[in-house]
Structure 1
Amino acid sequence: MAAQGSYKFEGWLGKSPDAINGKMEWGAFEPKKWTEDDVDIEISHCGICGSDLHMLKSGWGPTPYPCVVGHEIVGKAVRVGANVKHVKVGDRVGVGAQAKTCQKSTCPECSNGLETYCREGLINTYGSIYPDGEGKSYGGYADYNRTNGHWVFKIPDELDSALVAPMMCGGITMYSPLKQNGCGPGKTVGIIGVGGLGHFGILFAKALGADRVIGISRKADKREDALKLGADEYIATDEEKDWVKKHQRRMDLIISTVSHSKMPLNDYLALLKVRGTLIQVGAPDGGELPAVNAFQLISNGAKLGGSATGSPWEIREMLQLAADKKIKPWVQERPLKEANQAVIDMEEGKARYRYVLVNENFGKH
């Protein structure tokens, strides 16, 4: 076990909603109090997720500033608690959106492999306050991270650090609802929004064996990218006349990554086959979705649901599938020192399709 003392916890601190405008400040922070259930990670890579932007600007409620965002973390374990048995010092590991759950046998979620939905003790990787005065969680736009070992995962050797980082949130956010809702041979799957999340949806839907994968977006400018990612078809809703009538009742499963309160949700529901399912994973500021017409659900026997990220067993399963199928997300590496500009570019929709911050000090691990 390595003793802490030779390294400092420093990162890009958001101190107000203005942080979203390139105003994060580099500085020191105090991680949660160490316990023998924890792992300290020397961060080499961290993906930029849309959640980071929402939190920086307090889009999902008041953010407990100062806050270091980033929950697509990959790096080297440098200190491992005595109670952590699946990770050792020197291992390459990853952390996603969750840092701790209650893990009680009496918790219906934690005791049934649904830890992501834990009601009793869910701590997010950044911006959460630990109970019993343990401190606050800080994320991956930093040199080091401290996370409960239950949510620290060994990375398969076959996966490149820059490519696997965005899988820790973006990847599992799409893998879980695809797998849990029957994506596989014989199924036609629609992915709404060809972006950071949506491109993972196409990759994993194909890896899970779906017969047809259909990318859905407003404009035609991502058609070529969607097809290169593996989509069989593409629907540009702003540019294809009568797209609802043409494609109605074609899809068994739709995953919506769009986070906009004015999206044409009832039109998307019309694309489902009878008893098909639409799962919402995009989360708008304020959480507001368009009104749903009850007859759109009733007349088609349609199911409308939601999904969070994924539990530890799902993350391990996803990582192994990515290694076996040689899944390669489209990432653009950015130096950690340029995090402010990368956040601005992400907010402006320039990423194709996931930015990954590379720590200049540790990025070669």
Structure 2
Amino acid sequence: MSTKAFAAHSAESPLEPISFDRRELRPDDVAIEIEYCGVCHTDIHFAQNDWGFTRYPVVPGHEIIGRVTAVGDKVTAYREGDRVGVGCMVDSCRSCNACESGLEQYCSEGNTATYNGIDRYDGSITFGGYSERIVVSERFVVNVPDKLDPAAAAPLLCAGITTYSPLRHFGIGAGHKVGVIGMGGLGHMGIKFAKAFGAEVTLFTRSENKVAEARNQGADHVIVSTDREQMQAAADQFDFLLDTIPVQHDLNPYLNCLKYDGTHILVGLVEPIEPTIHAGQLVMKRRRLAGSLIGGMPETQEVLDFCAEHDIRCDVEMLDIRNINEAYERMKRGDVKYRFVIDMASLRDMEA
């Protein structure tokens, strides 16, 4: 089916309108008309080929909310009219230990990304949510609870699950002191989830002007990481640090803030760490440096249900898709609180 979208055609070009054909339904597929799509910093990395493996044209978008318009003849979980979500992946091998454990994000063969991935059946390149519609296997679709604002729910499919999954995996709860490093799209959700789990939460930020914002998000304390005295006072204080910063930064001062047996969890940085970590920071206090990648499909459903139950939402700024390039520039400057979400009605309006 002919589908309108926005795509980048090179690392230097802006995103612009294109048309392409979505595939016909396979027996286990769900066809979805997209209502909202969040804008993730990863979208910028792919559009601009920051990681060196973008396949052009690239249609970004992996925080997708929409309505089911059709289902394959073997689909049992969804029907026309259901409001559903699609996150960062649309397939996996489905048979390795990770997949059989509901951890498809760690598929031994590599999961198929919602965009810039290679379809396991026909070899085509996957196109994401900056588009009118998408076709996805029902295994990689989640139900959106009625209680959730659908626009605010879109970023839960990446920013939400990226912060929820490690907090849940490491058993964070009452009695724990948790530091959240950075307060962008991921960080503000990390604060909300850690508080909902019962932890005492501190935001680490380089910016004095985020102190009041952090408290409004639920942080119990705020440490300005450029203040040496504040960082020294935080030494050996934290059980966990959730590091949401997506660019290079010195981990050593933060590691010093962990108690013995403390854990520093990376969810933002996916590049070689610079500057070098001093191994003594880990060895002398039996500290751990860990990483975490989104969540599997059962946990992605879990985070939506948890947010509905606990009245948690992502703070969003609605976006006309025609302003997507301006939005990218604003994101680079940190000028969004805290996630852009594209209203896909703006794409449909372009058809008139």
Which TM-score bucket, shorter chain as reference?
over 0.9
Aligned residue pairs: how many? 348
Task: Verify: 1:72 aligned to 2:63, yes or no.
Answer: yes
Alpha-carbon deviations, 1:190-234, whole Å to 9, x = none?
Answer: 100011110000011111111x10001111111111100000001
Residue 197 of structure 1 aligns to a residue whose secondary structure is helix
How do residues 209-248 of structure 1 correspond to structure 2 at under 5 angstroms? Answer: 209-210=198-199, 212-238=200-226, 240-248=227-235
Tell me the distance in 2 between the aligned counterparts of 1:280 and 1:121. Answer: 20
Please tell me whether the aligned partners of residues 322 and 346 of structure 2 are also in contact (alpha carbons under 8 angstroms). Answer: no
Structure 1 residue 159: Cα displacement: 0.0
Q: Deviations over 1:252-308 (max 9, x none)?
A: 1111011222x1201111111110111101125x44443111111011110101000
Q: Which whole-Å CA distance do the structure 2 matches of 1:257 and 1:32 have between them?
A: 35
> Matched residues in 1 for 2:146 and 2:268: separation?
31
2:87 alignment partner in structure 1: 96
Give runs of aligned pairs for residues 241-256 of structure 1, distance below 5 A. Answer: 241-256=228-243
Which consecutive residues of structure 1, in runs of 5 or more, have no partner in the other structure? none
Deviations 1:29-51 (A, max 9, x none): 23355411221111110000011
Alignment-derived partner of residue 178 in structure 1? 167
Deviation at 1:68, TM superposition (A): 0.4
Identity in percent: 37
Match of 1:305 in 2: 290
User: Given residue 30 of structure 2, which amino acid in structure 1 is its aligned partner?
Assistant: V
Match of 1:354 in 2: 339
1:120-199 alignment to 2 at 5 Å?
Answer: 120-199=109-188
Give the counterpart letter for 2:336 in structure 1.
A
Q: Secondary structure at the match of 1:185?
A: coil
Aligned-pair CA distance for 1:183? 1.2
- Cα distance, 1:206–1:362 mapped onto 2, change above 3 Å: farther
RMSD: 1.6
1:320 aligns with 2:305: yes
Q: What does residue range 338-353 of structure 1 map to in structure 2 within 5 Å? A: 338-353=323-338
**Aligned letter for 2:141?**
V
Contact persistence 1:32–1:137 (CA under 8 A): no
What amino acid is aligned across from residue 111 of structure 1 in structure 2?
E
* CA contact 1:45–1:75 (8 Å) conserved in 2: yes
1:11 aligns with 2:9: no
Alignment partner of 1:44 is 2:35: yes
Q: Tell me, yes or no, if structure 1 residue 293 matches structure 2 residue 287.
A: no
Deviation at 1:336, TM superposition (A): 2.2
Q: Does 1:334 align with 2:323?
A: no
Report the CA distance between 1:362 and its aligned residue: 8.6
Alignment check: 8 A CA contact 1:100 1:121 kept:
no
Cα displacement (A) at 1:343: 2.0
Q: In the aligned structure 2, how far is the partner of 1:241 from the partner of 1:298?
A: 23
TM norm structure 2: 0.95
TM normalised by structure 1 equals 0.92
String of CA shifts for 1:312-340, please: whole Å, max 9, x gaps. Answer: 11111111110011012211111123222
Q: Which residue of 1 aligns with 2:244?
A: 257
SS of residue in 1 equivalent to 2:261: strand
| Deviation at residue 82 of structure 1 after TM alignment | 2.1
TM alignment of 1:268-287, pairs within 5 A: 268-284=254-270, 286-287=271-272
Q: Residues 83 and 121 of structure 1: is their aligned pair in 2 closer, same or farther, counting only changes over 3 Å? A: farther
1: CA distance, partners of 2:213 / 2:231: 22
User: What is residue 202 of structure 1 aligned with on the other side?
Assistant: 191
Q: 1:287 to 1:93 in 2, by over 3 A?
A: farther
Change beyond 3 A, Cα 1:298–1:121: closer
Aligned equivalents of 1:302, 1:79: Cα separation in 2: 50
Q: Which runs of 5+ in 2 are unaligned?
A: none
Structure 1 pair 34/233, CA: closer, same or farther in 2 (3 Å)? Answer: same
Q: Which amino acid aligns with 1:248?
A: A
The alignment status of 1:267 with 2:253, answered yes or no, reads: yes
CA 287–59 in structure 1, closer or farther in 2 if over 3 Å, else same? farther
